[in-house]
Amino acid sequence: MKIKFLRFYLFLLLFTAASNTIYAQKNYVVNGVIKDERTGETLIGASVQVNGISSLGTVSNAYGYYSLSIPAGVYQIVYSYVGYKTIKKDINVTANLTQNIALSSANELNEVIVTEERRNNNVENPLMGVQKLNVKEINSIPVLFGERDILKTLQLLPGIKSAGEGNSGFYVRGGSTDQNLILLDEAPVYNASHLLGFFSTFNSDAIKDVTVYKGGMPAQYGGRLASVLDIKMNDGNKKEYTVEGGLGLIASRLKVEGPLKKDKSSFMVSGRRTYADTFLAFSPDTSVRGSKLYFYDLNAKMNFILDSKNILYLSGYFGRDKLGLKNSFGFDWGNTTATVRLNHLFSNRLFSNTSLIYSNYNYLIESLLEDNDFNVKSSIKDFNLKQDFQLTANNAHEVKFGLNVIHHTISPGKITASAASSVNQSQIEERKGLELAAYFSDEYKVNPKLSLAYGLRLSNFAALGSGTFKTYDIDGNTTGTTFYKAGELVKNYLNLEPRLSAAFQLSENKSIKASFTRNTQNLHLMSNSTATSPTDLYIMNSNNVKPEIADQVALGYFSNFKNDSYEFSSEIYYKNMKNQIEYRNGTDLRGNQNVEADLLFGDGRAYGIELFLKKRFGDFNGWIGYTLAKTERQFAQINDGKWFNAKQDRTHDLSLVGIYKASPRWTLSSTFVYSTGNAVTYPSGKYQLNGETVFYYSEKNGYRTPAYHRLDFSATLEPKIKPNRKYQSSWSFGIYNVYNRKNAFSIDFKDDPDNPGRTQAVQTSLFGIIPSVTWNFKF
Amino acid sequence: MNKLKLLFLASVALALNACEKVIDIDLKNTKPVIVIEGNVIDEYVAQKVKISQTKPFTEDNSVDAVTNATITLKDVTLNKTYDFSASDAEGNYFSEKFKGMPGHVYELKVKSDNQEYVAQSTMPIKVPLDSLSITEVSFFGNTRKYLKVNFADPANYQNQYRYVIRVNNALVKGYYVDSDRFNNGKYIANTIFTDEPELKTGDTIKVEFQCIDMNIYRYFFAISQISGNGGPPTAPSNPDSNFNNGALGFFSAHTSQTNTAVIK
């Protein structure tokens, strides 16, 4: 197997060399890095466009690097980026040229930017299902408790739905929460939420860029069915030291960044901690005083420009939730990621990035009850090596290729206990797996009207020993047991994932696009409850569990109008999913050695239409997103084998976002969301069993909870602009759920406590109207 | 800063004050489905089978009895059948008196409206309940009394237990089942986190301690999971019955021992 990969890799290298010699004769390369003038932060996705020749243009990559191949001649190159002042450079290309650019911030998002710039990237780019979130937008959109939150802002985009009230989990185009690949500086984050889902693990202070792919993922991404959320952290200010922070109702934040050596290296450290528990210390009750309830996040990053060809990045994330009751119970969980990356320029046409990534998610439960003390540890640990190349073959082709190797170790649970405890020490066998992927993609401008992005990803998963592996029949009975030695191959799965998307320009600012994407997933989150829990465990492919496979086709219409100040898109998609996972009734996922015996496998399908209208500039901007969709699952052993609504199925989903710059100091914003209620199972009858009422269910997810809707409001007061003062402070005020809508969190059926001879339905609502205030500072 | 603290406390109070209300839902009604509750215990008694059918959610909780069924109970191990009486008005059917034997396989056949429903259950070995005791657990400053059941789990068997708890002769709602997968062979002191009623000094607690087979354990565990059992609740579904042909309910051959304690 490995040899095949090597051959593929060699082929790619040869291809690279060949294309170099073919094209180098008539074209020269203009390359460089695009940065923010004030901070030295690299800018991701900045546009580089030869004025007047629409086919000559590119965008900066994840490291701010761009490379453009153009024939000899005299040109004007336009460098632009949303929120920055455009720069035009007149150049005479007679040889290869390195052009590093520093753009200066336009201060306000709504400042109208010069007209000739290339603002039609959304229309021309062959990729579809992609959306970028602007960090400035994130900061002015109201959220729960005034804590700005990337994942919750993301849920306001069409096709992306919240997993529940105040929840940072999300569903993309009918996928479940574990089918999203969440990358933080290339490191996969396994549990992206704090405090049982109410806050995401991403502290927006530390974040530079957020891109989400709902479909048509480029071949460099793989491993999850539904979406890719690619989050990049700030590099750190290379010019001067700055301190930024905020005091909120729930948490406080502090970020320090600055140069280690001016213009050569920098660092960024950003931390956040909640302080609900500090109030516990004032309690008169000693058991309350000893209790714990908080989370914290720490993001850190350093980068070093070694020379003109090499840049080294070190970044890390460490976050943890801690819950504890004095003398009885403790529970904490969190992610750790560490990334070392080296950007290297092999030539002015070949950019390379090598990443070494470590990722770990674990939890620890402690019971301190007398006679019953124990602790449970569980973890998922990855070592990940990624080699990515970006080749500027000629002005029509932008080629990317690379390799990715991930070694996973899952330790489902290890129980330790004292000798006096009634609990036995035990350990569920660790599982190891090796994921190998190789990819190739090309963005090809066939002609001024047609551009293509095509690629192929080869994904191989090997389940490895050591351990005892079982096979099961359809009823979950063991049919075979085999012991494998350490490193021995248990089962191998190979998948080819074609990716294709195309854009056809109808006019300068109108296009239609089409795409086909296959994604596969080798890691699966086990959760049979209605809400996610930090104890939900991942399992890997095995003899019984096969890779999940999704094929998605999408068609779209994209248009910019009114001098590009409005952007409209409409996408229709159909997705077919295989090897989806459900659970037998009464499955206990906790500490279950034979969990695979309780799994059921079936199919899924999802289809829908997404409409998106955005006003991009002006004192008033914002967007409307609407999704009409259907998501279903089919399992032979559930619902008599008939298709049923998946729990993430919501027919209508509407988001309105408005941001209004009322005065130089006041920014007002508001969001409104409406969605069809969740698909749920309600009783169709009842019976008495042993003196208790038990409900009878006739169809799975055949009912709907009441529709969900909510209006939020927020206002930000910026300081008076005093040019010579570095210290600045601002206030944010927010109101969550302005009209105090009692949205259903859960609906339970039970005996009427006032009249035990009858039954009733009881709706629980979580958050009513919640005001918030946050004070932010910077110096 | 003081204002900030007040505001914070107000928000937390608002947020945590999850509110409940009774709502009206238009629920579909289905054809009635047969519900069989059959037990064989290790005591010399008339063993009882109760047969009823489901009824609409909006009706009262009285039992819709099925009184015209024919019942056959067989000790498969001994190849011996036991006769059952005709039903009483509540749908209860009683066998001739006999004592169920641990290790024996029992088969219950119910014929009703030309449809036959069959289930088997194996009576597990009997594990004696040693004692009942009371422990106090403190949750955020609120100290409550909880029941503890104490017994020695045998190491050579996979055991499942069910506790049927009565406080002052009133049945405690909820199904409490346990398995020994985390404490096989240990002396077990299990705290049972019952919700209502709160236990007080002077209460009389009566616990029927049953050793049940695996299918019955999963059956009751599935019901208890729907309302959340040590975690978020699972999506509701009918528990897997050991009866075939779509009957609801269960047939359980189990051992039974009842202990009583008064809280001091």
Question: Which tens digit of pLDDT belongs to each residue from A575-620?
Answer: 999 999 999 888 888 888 889 999 999 999 999 999 999 998 788 8
Q: How far is A424 from chain B (nearest CA, A)?
A: 5
Asked if B238 lies within 8 A of A325 by C-beta distance, the reply is no
Q: Does A640 touch chain B (CB under 8 A)?
A: no
> What pLDDT, in 10s, does the model give residues A309-351?
999 999 999 999 988 877 778 889 999 999 999 999 999 889 9
Chain A residue with CA closest to B173: the answer is A692
Q: Are A396 and A22 in contact (CB under 8 A)?
A: no
Q: Which of A679, A610, A701 is nearest to A172 (CA)?
A: A610
Asked if A747 lies within 8 A of B219 by C-beta distance, the reply is no
pLDDT given for residue A114 in this prediction: 39
Q: Does A102 touch chain B (CB under 8 A)?
A: no
Of residues A291 and A75, more confidence is placed in A75
pLDDT given for residue B206 in this prediction: 95
Nearest to A423 among B10, B27, B183 (CB): B183
pLDDT band at B16 (very low <50, low <70, confident <90, very high): low
Amino acid letter, A765: S
pLDDT given for residue A287 in this prediction: 60
Nearest to B189 among A371, A742, A766 (CB): A371
Q: Are A332 and A319 in contact (CB under 8 A)?
A: no
Percentage of chain B exceeding pLDDT 90: 68
Check pLDDT > 80 for residue A181.
yes
Positive or negative, the CA dihedral A779, B2, B7, B11 is positive
Check pLDDT > 80 for residue A548.
yes
Residue A669 tokens read as 């914003």
pLDDT given for residue A419 in this prediction: 84
> What pLDDT, in 10s, does the model give residues A497-538?
999 999 999 998 899 999 999 999 999 998 887 777 788 889
Nearest to B33 among A372, A696, A773 (CB): A696
> What pLDDT, in 10s, does the model give residues A127-178?
888 888 877 777 778 777 777 888 888 999 999 998 887 778 899 999 999 9
Q: What is the mean pLDDT of residues A72-76?
A: 91
- Probe site for chain B from A684, A746, A766 (most B CB atoms < 10 A): A684
Of residues A259 and A25, more confidence is placed in A259
Chain B residue with CA closest to A249: the answer is B8
pLDDT given for residue A5 in this prediction: 46
Query: Which chain B residues are closer than 8 Å to A690 by Cβ?
Result: 37, 164
Q: Does A690 touch chain B (CB under 8 A)?
A: yes
**How many other C-beta atoms can be found within 10 angstroms of the C-beta atom of residue A499?**
26
pLDDT given for residue B232 in this prediction: 67
Q: What is the ipTM of this complex?
A: 0.91
Nearest to A770 among B14, B173, B174 (CB): B14
Check pLDDT > 90 for residue B30.
no
Asked if B184 lies within 8 A of A686 by C-beta distance, the reply is no
pLDDT band at A119 (very low <50, low <70, confident <90, very high): low
Asked if B233 lies within 8 A of A530 by C-beta distance, the reply is yes
Nearest to A681 among B182, B185, B235 (CB): B235
Looking at chain A from residue 399 to 428, which residues have their Cβ under 8 Å from any Cβ of chain B? 415, 421-424, 426
From residue B51, alpha-carbon distances to A637, B74, B91, B97 in Å are 26, 18, 5, 19
> What pLDDT, in 10s, does the model give residues A703-750?
999 999 999 999 988 887 776 777 888 898 999 999 999 998 888 888
Residues 6+ apart with CB under 8 A from A393: A19, A20, A23, A69, A349, A399
From residue A355, alpha-carbon distances to A307, A315, A456, B12, B104 in Å are 18, 11, 21, 42, 63
From residue A586, alpha-carbon distances to A340, A422, A645 in Å are 44, 24, 21
Check pLDDT > 50 for residue A395.
yes
Residue A60 tokens read as 């900066």
> What pLDDT, in 10s, does the model give residues A626-681?
999 999 999 999 999 999 999 899 999 999 999 998 988 899 999 999 999 999 99
Percentage of chain A exceeding pLDDT 90: 54
Check pLDDT > 60 for residue A435.
yes
Percentage of chain A exceeding pLDDT 70: 93
Nearest to A586 among B141, B185, B221 (CB): B221
Nearest to A422 among B8, B17, B186 (CB): B186
Check pLDDT > 70 for residue A112.
no
Chain B residue with CA closest to A424: the answer is B183
- B181: alpha, beta or left, given left = phi > 0 and alpha = psi -120 to 50? alpha
Q: How far is A177 from chain B (nearest CA, A)?
A: 16
Positive or negative, the CA dihedral A259, A263, A266, A268 is positive
Check pLDDT > 90 for residue A402.
yes
Looking at chain A from residue 231 to 270, which residues have their Cβ under 8 Å from any Cβ of chain B? 247, 249-250
pLDDT band at A288 (very low <50, low <70, confident <90, very high): low
> What pLDDT, in 10s, does the model give residues B185-217?
999 888 888 877 889 999 999 999 999 999 999
Q: How far is B224 from chain A (nearest CA, A)?
A: 9
In DSSP terms, which residues pair with B135 in a beta bridge? B146
pLDDT given for residue A283 in this prediction: 64
Query: Which chain B residues are closer than 8 Å to A691 by Cβ?
Result: 171
Q: How many interchain CB pairs under 8 A, A with B? A: 223
Whole-prediction pTM value?
0.89
Check pLDDT > 90 for residue A113.
no
Residue A200 tokens read as 């995401």
Average pLDDT, chain A: 87
Cα separation, A538 vs A413, in Å, equals 11
Cα separation, A599 vs A475, in Å, equals 10
Asked if B4 lies within 8 A of A249 by C-beta distance, the reply is yes
> Would you give the end-to-end CA distance of chain A in angstroms?
55
